[in-house]
Amino acid sequence: MILIADSGATKTDWRTIEADWSIGQARTIGLNPNFQDTDSIIAELTQNLLPSLRGEVTEVYFYGTGCAGEYACSIVEKAIRAVFQQATKVEIDSDMLGAARGLCGHEAGFACILGTGANNCLYDGRNIADKIPSLGFWLSDEGSGGYLGKTVVVSFLQKEMPTDLAEKFEKRYGLTREIVLENAYKKPFPNRYFSTFSKFLFDHRSHPFAYQMVYEAFSLFLRKYVCKFEQSKTLKINFTGSVAFYYSDILRRAAADLGLTVGIIMETPIAGLTLYHQSDH
Give the confidence band of 137 by pLDDT, cuts at 50, 70, 90: confident
**pLDDT (0 to 100) of residue 9:** 72
Asked whether residue 215 falls in the same domain as residue 116, the answer is yes
d(CA 27, CA 38): 19
**189 and 256 part of one domain:** yes
Domain with 71, as residue range(s), is 2-87
pLDDT value at position 276? 94
Query: Considering the chain, what is the average pLDDT of its residues?
Result: 94
Are 148 and 243 in contact, with CB atoms under 8 Å apart? Answer: yes
Quote the pLDDT of residue 66.
86
pLDDT in tens, 156-181: 999 999 999 999 999 999 999 999 99
pTM over 0.85: yes
Q: Is residue 40 part of a domain?
A: yes
Does residue 70 lie in a domain region?
yes
Contact 213, 148 (CB under 8 A): yes
| Band of pLDDT at residue 136, cut at 50, 70 and 90 | confident
Residue 83 shares a structural domain with residue 172: no
Sort 263 into a burial class: Cβ within 10 Å, 0-12 / 13-18 / 19+: middle
241 and 149 assigned to the same domain: yes
94-118 pLDDT, tens digit per residue, is 999 999 999 999 999 999 999 988 9
User: Is residue 241 one of the residues assigned to a domain?
Assistant: yes
Residue 95: inside a domain: no
pLDDT at 271 over 90: yes
The model's pLDDT over 215-263, given as tens digits with 9 standing for 90+, comes to 999 999 999 999 999 999 999 999 999 999 999 999 999 999 999 999 9
Instruction: Please state the φ and ψ torsions of residue 207, each to the nearest 5 degrees.
Output: -75, 130
70 plus 170 within the same structural domain: no
Asked, for residue 239, whether it belongs to a domain, the answer is yes
What does the pLDDT read at residue 68? 85
- Which tens digits make up the pLDDT trace of 176-206? 999 999 999 999 888 889 999 999 999 999 9
Tell me whether residue 98 is in a domain. no
Confirm whether 92 is domain-assigned.
no
- Same domain for 115 and 79: no
Report whether 4 contacts 10 (CB < 8 A).
no
Digit-coded pLDDT (tens) for 46-78: 999 999 998 899 999 999 988 988 999 999 999
| Residue 193 near residue 184 (C-beta atoms within 8 A) | yes
Give whole-number Cα distances, 239 to 20, 43, 103, 187, in Å: 31, 33, 7, 30
Q: Pick the residue with more confidence: 254 or 278?
A: 254
Comparing CA positions, the residue from 143, 136, 121, 108 lying closest to residue 235 is 108
Beta strands 118-123 and 11-17, pairing class: unpaired
Same domain, 130 and 246: yes
What is residue 227's three-state secondary structure? coil
**126, 216: one domain:** yes
pLDDT at 135: 86
Do 111 and 243 share a domain, yes or no?
yes
Smallest CA-to-CA distance from 122 within 240, 220, 227 is with 227
Residue 151 belongs to a domain: yes
d(CA 51, CA 36): 21
**177 and 150 within one domain:** yes
Is the domain of 120 the same as that of 257?
yes
On whether both 7 and 37 belong to a single domain, the answer is yes
Number of structural domains (the chain) is: 2
Q: How far apart are CA 236 and CA 106, in angstroms?
A: 13
Dist. CA 281–CA 279, nearest whole Å: 5
pLDDT at 93: 96
Q: What is the CATH number of the domain that holds 175?
A: 3.30.420.40
Strands (E), 87-221: 89-94, 109-114, 118-123, 128-130
